[in-house]
Chain A
Amino acid sequence: MRFGVVVFPGSNCDHDTLYALRDVTNQESFFLWHKEHDLKDADCIVLPGGFSYGDYLRSGAIARFSPLMQQVKEFALSGGLVLGICNGFQVLLELGLLPGAMLRNKNLKFLCQYVPIRIENTETPFTNRGKPGQVLHIPIAHFDGNYYTDPENLKKIHQNQQVVFRYANPDGSLSSAANVNGSMDSIAGLLNEQKNVMGMMPHPERASDLLLGSTDGQIIFESIIHYLKNDR
């Protein structure tokens, strides 16, 4: 499978993401500079973490105007798989491919730590190799990850089973303390209505190799590969 990792000025998880895809899961993977106009026949586009454009204006707000992002938007609207990690999630929200917005973390701290997240929905291209309710240990590293949407949209998101991951305790239970950044309904990962676009605040590429302390993030990449091979 062909994975395109988009690089913005200020992206800083692009190499880790490429390593996880190319060297750990052995997929054909390449960078796509944000000024390009061609997705190079990628089967899946990954928007990596970092601080695109220095987070100026709002996190992800300027990256969405990049020439390549117009192609990514068309690709997503025609059913192509798009995964946004951390800053990539913020870009997808600003682009309007996912509903809602990010506020500053509830405790006003930059959070950089392993968190347990619970898989809410395994019938997705991004989590089909996981088990319902399974708890994954994957690191987060962000300042603006406090997910917000209006009550009407929140209802719609739940009805349509768009919530993929929630911040949880290690045993899978939910609590206010486990919801580290204050996100609405502990939302850590979210799909669009058509379920071909996912944003997640935790970094699966940082949990893709035992050397890094966890391989739980591999479930996401393996799910995408499985979906592209079998279900597309």
Chain B
Amino acid sequence: MKVRVLVSFKESVLDPQGQAVKNALLTLGYDFIEDVRQGKIFELELKDMSREKIEEMIPEISHKVLSNPIIEKFEWEVID
């Protein structure tokens, strides 16, 4: 089974890289861009395990390792 975890900055935290990308897009004339937030994607290949175990472990590792909860938030989904 495959799980995808998306880590991005909390709304309250300024994302200077996202801002730089936004400015580049606006410079190129894509004036419909309102805002850009940049994040990271992790794709985790899992051994056979129960849905309950996945629901317990993925938030745990996302909180403990994949994100820094002081500045980042995460969401996750089963993709395969």
Contact = CB atoms under 8 A, between A and B. Distances in A.
Contacts of B12: 150
B71 A101 contact: yes
26 contacts: A57-B65, A57-B66, A58-B68, A61-B65, A61-B68, A94-B68, A100-B70, A101-B68, A101-B70, A101-B71, A103-B13, A103-B14, A103-B16, A103-B71, A104-B16, A104-B17, A105-B16, A107-B16, A108-B16, A108-B20, A146-B16, A148-B13, A148-B70, A148-B71, A149-B70, A150-B70
The secondary-structure label for the interface of chain B is: loop
Interface residues of B, number: 11
Interface of A: 57-58, 61, 94, 100-101, 103-108, 146, 148-150, 182
A195 B16 CA distance: 32
Contacts of B70: 100-101, 148-150
Interface of B: 12-14, 16-17, 20, 65-66, 68, 70-71
Contacts of B16: 103-108, 146, 182
Nearest to A94: B68
Nearest to A60: B68
A107 B14 CA distance: 12
3 closest Cβ pairs, A-B complex: A101-B70, A101-B71, A104-B16
Contacts of A149: 70
A7 B20 CA distance: 34
A40 B15 CA distance: 42
B47 to A, nearest CB: 21
A149 B69 CA distance: 11
Most buried by B among A58, A105, A106: A58
Contacts of B71: 101, 103, 148
